[in-house]
Amino acid sequence: MDEAKSLLKSYESIRRLELKQKDLDQVKYLQFHKVSFAYGDNKVIEDLNLTVNRGDRIWLRGENGAGKSTLLKLITGQLTPDDGYTHRAIDLKVTQAFQDMPFKSGLVKDYLEYYQTDLTAFVRMLIILIWMSSILKGRLPL
């Protein structure tokens, strides 16, 4: 009987941990509700609803002038929306790759310093870029 109680107690402990992990997995790291932004009369983003949960990965792709950079600046807090509500988790991490580098040295340490990121995030970004490039070139299946 004691063995059965012990097993039941262990099961209940494991179940509580699983439920706590499930709650953590549902944490909203980023949330936009009816967010709008314009440069003067040029509306770039209008009534955007966006939720990014813990563990989500996002890849932005679009034509020049579609608003990708503006959206990233709203996500990182470099721009403030004209309308709407935003929420960013304290530990939200955003890694970006730019076409035009603001420095010409080409040194990784300058990149890390300028974009205020760490080496681990930089290496992850490089791996993702190489992987995406291989997919786009047809070398890897999706």
- Using DSSP's 3-state secondary structure scheme, residue 114 falls into helix
DSSP 28-71: EEEEEEEEEEEETTEEEEEEEEEEEETT--------TTSSHHHH
36 CB contacts (<8 Å, ≥6 apart)? 43, 45, 46, 47, 48, 81, 82, 83, 84
The domains of the chain, with CATH numbers, are: 28-88 (3.40.50.300), 96-142 (no CATH)
User: Are 79 and 37 in contact, with CB atoms under 8 Å apart?
Assistant: yes
For residue 27, give the amino acid letter.
Answer: V
- Report the distance separating Cα 97 and Cα 84, nearest Å: 27
- What's the pTM? 0.53
Q: Dump pLDDT digits (tens) for 1-38.
A: 666 566 556 656 655 555 454 544 455 678 899 999 99
Mean pLDDT of 34-60: 88
Q: How many CB atoms lie within 10 A of CB 75?
A: 20
Mean pLDDT of 96-117: 68
Which tokens hold the place of 89? 């988790």
